[in-house]
Copies of this chain bind each other. A is one copy, B any other.
Amino acid sequence: ADIDAGKTKSAVCAACHGAEGVSAIPIYPNLKGQKEAYLVSALKAYKANQRQGGMSAVMTGQATLLSDDDIANLAAYYSSLK
């Protein structure tokens, strides 16, 4: 996966998840340092519309815009943040 491409792509995510993956809004999860494989799994679950409840409506919409490469790059980027 390409961490730099992930960082570029993450501009979209930063609105809710914060510039460094630490969100300022309690209901939005921190992504900084999260497990890479979990991030891929969660994004794919949203993309496949397998998650309802909570903020899933927003996230499902976002995930559908992402390619598998985007998902891999984003997961690599956020998990790389220490």
Contacts and interface: CB of A to CB of B under 8 A. Distances in A.
B23 A29 contact: no
Contacts of A45: 51-54, 56
Interface in A35-82: 35-38, 41-42, 44-45, 48, 50-56
Q: How many copies does the complex hold?
A: 2
Contact of A41 (B27, B30, B33, B34): B27
Contacts of A28: 35, 38
Contact of A35 (B26, B35, B42): B26
Contacts of A30: 33-35, 38
A36 B26 contact: yes
Contacts of A48: 53
